[in-house]
Structure 1
Amino acid sequence: MYKEPIFLKPVFKDRIWGGTKLREEFGYDIPTETTGECWGISAHSHGPSEVINGPLKGKTLDQVWDKHRELFADQEGEDFPLLVKILDAKTDLSVQVHPDDSYAREVEGEAFGKTECWYVINCEPGAELVYGHHANSKLQFEQMVAENRWDELLRKVSIKPGDFVYVPNGTIHAIGAGTMILETQQSSDVTYRVYDYDRRDDAGNPRELHIEKSIEVAMIPHVDADFEPVLSGNEDLRMKKLVRENYFTVYHWNLAGSVSKIENPAYLLVSVLDGEGELKVEGETSSSFKKGDHFILPSTIKNFAMNGNARFIVSHPTI
């Protein structure tokens, strides 16, 4: 039986709004000076992560999902459900919105829509997000878009390091300049741009917008998501459940010592935000981890121990 964490090699994405902080903050070997995204745990066809340890070394996560479903609590479904990223927004991201599952399947042929959430790793003083809008009806939304009344339409929210933002499908949103986040999302790459600050691509052309589809899928009027973080654990491992919803459950863990037994509820997706330490599986094999590592604890591991000083974002599908 498989008794070790599955460490993954990230996939990097060049973005017009990206920068170099993924290298500066996490030591990643990024491919360009405008690298915006690190896909740390991904089985999506646009960038599957590769296993870098153990018997599955060299396999991509989509291949492991297809051939070794016992590692994922025998969860049903053709596609691995989640995707974990770190984003470096040197400049503002486009204002965008994502569809639900039904719309994504029917219109785009994607397995999933996109509900996501963000943990703010770091941001510059005064950083903001776009989260929602001020239109009261679809007609008013359409009029404000047509008249380029973006300052009136878009709702901006101040942020600081450690903030958490839940972004259900249909939410108008944008990550602001000077922000680094960890994003946990459904495994989807469907994005509709509403507004892009009149930016142009490398060829000098205006970037494509998707106004009609955005209006079709947007939540109008906007309603803030209702969720309440839950604290548990002890001084050695403080666990904060950030959100539990239909697609995923996400936690922030703060390890400051030694914990002899942690239960694995299904299979866990783990990203190390800071620090280092050691993980021991059921009193047997040991694995070290450090800042910037991404790994999965498969469902064949029923419990594990940890020691060290580190912070993590941990998630699992809500099954």
Structure 2
Amino acid sequence: MEFKDYYKILAIDEKANASVIKASYRKLARKYHPDVSKEENAEAQFKEVGEAYAVLKDPEKRAEYDLLRAQGTYRSAGGSYQPPPDWQSSHAGNRTHSQRTDENFSDFFDSIFGAHGSDFRQAEDFQRSTNRRGRDLHYKIALFLEEAFVGCQRQIALRVSEPDQNGSIKQRDKTLNVKIPAGVTEGQHIRLTGQGELGIGGGKAGDLLLEIEFAPHPYFTVDGMNILLTLPVTCWEAALGSTVEVPTLRGKVKLKIPQAANSGNKLRIKGKGLISKGGEISGDQIVTLQVSLPKERSSEAKALYRQLAECESHFNPRQAFER
């Protein structure tokens, strides 16, 4: 049986304190974890690191181990090791055959301390504690309203942190093609399971959370599920009433402008707003009229405006100011 130098296995000095021991164990456990390591014999080295930590983290076990290590009896002929004939560990009284777990600890450990089941469970619990879930990533994605309405596929680029084969954290660029379902709304989060950062020590990968934003639109704005549009109309369309074409997310529709309409009047087009996923909720399109005049007018048009002013001379839109 070979003597195991636990200090050498953890790559620490024999005078290392508890924090140094713990830090070295965490680093090596990440390096050799079979789920992520590319090292040769990673599984065997991972078990050795766990065994060394189980001894050196425990002050009593460490003291017993240091005593045996100082005796140098492991340097016997052939390099084989046997504890002194009168050796009795303070932990040996807890030994039971049913607690024996060769997959976790070596014969060397067993010969000194016995297969102490609680020690195995403590070491396994600590190993599980290093199996940390990867960090969730958050990414804002700006969509045009038309893309949010019908759904789309977009490519996004991320920079993620991942442990390399030595346990060091490195940055890596990652590209994903993501499918955006129809009916997303601003501020909504889409969770892509397992597309976040890798876990440590075999832990699950984190998720990617996409937060939906709406890119500025040339003429639409959003209010909840409603689409807002400011619609320019001519003075004669507003005065006489008219039917005009209006853009919506579903294409152009006919909208009737009532007679004597004014700037600021709001007209509602039912069901032409945003639609929730599944179609249970549908917003409207709210159209706000804005009466516009041509910047350049012909002499004939000016004459008609003068004639209109004479015909409507009784109308004073500022009458309220004169009270």
The TM-score normalised by the length of structure 2 is 0.22
Q: Please state which structure has a larger fraction of its residues in strand.
A: 1
Query: Greater CA radius of gyration, 1 or 2?
Result: 2
What's the TM-score once normalised by structure 1's chain length? 0.22
